[in-house]
Amino acid sequence: MDNSSCSCGLHPLGGTDMSEDRPRRSDLLKTPIQMVELTRGMTIKELADQFSNTSFQARNLAQCVEIYRKMTDTDSSHTVFMGLAGSVIAAGLRKVVTQLIEMGMVDVVVTTGAVVYQDYYQSMGYKHYRGAVESDDVLLHEYMIDRIYDTYVDEEKFRETDISIGNLLESLGGGRYSTREFLRILGERCADDGDSILGAACREDIPIYCPAISDSSIGIGLATSYRRQRDAGVGMDEIFVLDTIRDNYEMAQIMNGSPSTGAFYLGGGVPKNYINDAVVMADMIFGGQDGHEYAIQVTMDRAEWGGLSGSTLGEAKSWGKIDAEATH
């Protein structure tokens, strides 16, 4: 049916034809798009400012810059949580994350096991290599080369890293550790690596949490270490154990002790959900917890599939994870 024959009176811009809130034509054609002008010596800030008067994702990027500026304002008391998902290290962004930590632009990091594992792998002197999307993956497997889209990694060196992590934990003896404590131990081994995320977090005393750490090469290293110790007759109370529930409580404590919070999600997945769930955990444990006051999400996923990675920050308001008056 043609819209003109619809009897409900709905206007394509919202509201009804009779509504007093209906915008006038002149209201809609009020703010012209400005053309970007590149100049010699232009700063990134100046470019981002120009993006705010453009369209599409450039305008959204400018909004992100402004929100992040407010989150990290030195006069503010915001605790900034950063969620890292995806192949950040393979993408060449390792130093960027390290610099954010060093510059005091992040207070808490929540990440996947892959990110911290590959950071540790690089600190051991191993590399990621340029590859090709159209590769012979069967041949790569024969050569023990793993492919991450257009990037190669050395599976032999991965396995050496797995064993190294397992040996390190065995040297610590038994005990229960949060992932924050465990990753700080790894960070101490990376402290002299100026490019290391773990090393920078250790030097700057920034906590890193990895709630799904078992789902990574670190988990593989821990599993092989566990089997080796059990075969040697080591008792359960003498085996290193990761206690992720302690992570939950620590995250709730950080939320409860923060006057206000902001969240920066690079990708989605577990880190995004965990940072959001910290609000609910703090509210359940301590009561009266407000959602994050500021939030930025950088993702390629889409909301209509119903997955967490693409879910909107507006949707998170229904859960109380993002504050009702939040800027995002």
SS3 annotation, 207-276: CEECCCCCCCHHHHHHHHHHHHHHHCCCCHHHCEEECHHHHHHHHHHHHHCCCEEEEEEECCHHHHHHHH
What average pLDDT does the chain have? 88
Does an H or E element contain 293, and which?
strand 292-298
- Looking at the domain assignment, is residue 43 inside a domain? no
6 pLDDT tier (thresholds 50, 70, 90): very low
Can you give the residue range of the structural domain that contains 125? Answer: 78-129+155-327
Specify the range with the lowest mean pLDDT, choosing from 149-158, 233-242, 301-310.
301-310
The two structure tokens encoding residue 147: 């492919």
The two structure tokens encoding residue 198: 């773990």
Q: Encode pLDDT of 45-85 as tens digits.
A: 999 999 999 999 999 999 999 988 888 886 668 899 999 99
Q: What local confidence, expressed as pLDDT, does residue 207 receive? A: 97
Average pLDDT over residues 187-207: 96
- Looking at the domain assignment, is residue 175 inside a domain? yes
Among 8-17, 278-287, 319-328, top mean pLDDT goes to 278-287
Q: What local confidence, expressed as pLDDT, does residue 309 receive? A: 74
Q: Encode pLDDT of 274-293 as tens digits.
A: 999 999 999 999 999 999 99
316 pLDDT tier (thresholds 50, 70, 90): confident
Q: What local confidence, expressed as pLDDT, does residue 304 receive? A: 74
Cα–Cα distance for residue pair 193/85, rounded to 1 Å = 22
Given a cut of 70, whether residue 306 has pLDDT beyond it is: yes
Q: What is the CATH number of the domain that holds 121?
A: 3.40.910.10
Q: What local confidence, expressed as pLDDT, does residue 1 receive? A: 40
Q: Is the Cβ–Cβ distance between 27 and 37 less than 8 Å? A: no
- Looking at the domain assignment, is residue 89 inside a domain? yes
Cα–Cα distance for residue pair 269/228, rounded to 1 Å = 32
Q: Would you please indicate which residues are annotated as catalytic (active-site) residues?
A: 321
Specify the range with the lowest mean pLDDT, choosing from 102-111, 142-151, 152-161, 290-299.
290-299
- Number of domains composing the chain: 1
Specify the range with the lowest mean pLDDT, choosing from 104-108, 223-227, 265-269, 296-300.
296-300
